[in-house]
Amino acid sequence: MLLLVVWIAVVVLSLVVLGALVHGVVGALQRLGRELQAAEREVRPLLEQAQAAGARAAALPSIEQRRTEG
């Protein structure tokens, strides 16, 4: 009888520990998602500026074209 009580206690304690671990991992994943969204919001203007600069640079004539024209 005592052995059964010990095994039940071990199982319950194991479930509590696993529940705490799962809770911690889920919380960390949610926090990571929020931080990634915040980082994306902060970086988006820089990305747009870089893309605009790249588009302007692509629209300019190349050095070889300028040499042949001038």
Q: Is residue 59 pLDDT above 80, yes or no?
A: yes
Residue with tokens 């059964």: 4
- What is the percent of the chain with per-residue pLDDT over 70, rounded to a whole number? 99
Are 54 and 62 a contacting pair, CB within 8 Å?
no
Structure tokens at 65: 């074209």
Domain that holds residue 62: 1-66
Q: Is residue 65 pLDDT above 80, yes or no?
A: no
Number of domains the chain contains: 1
Residues 6+ positions from 41 with CB-CB distance below 8 Å: none
Structure tokens at 66: 């300028």
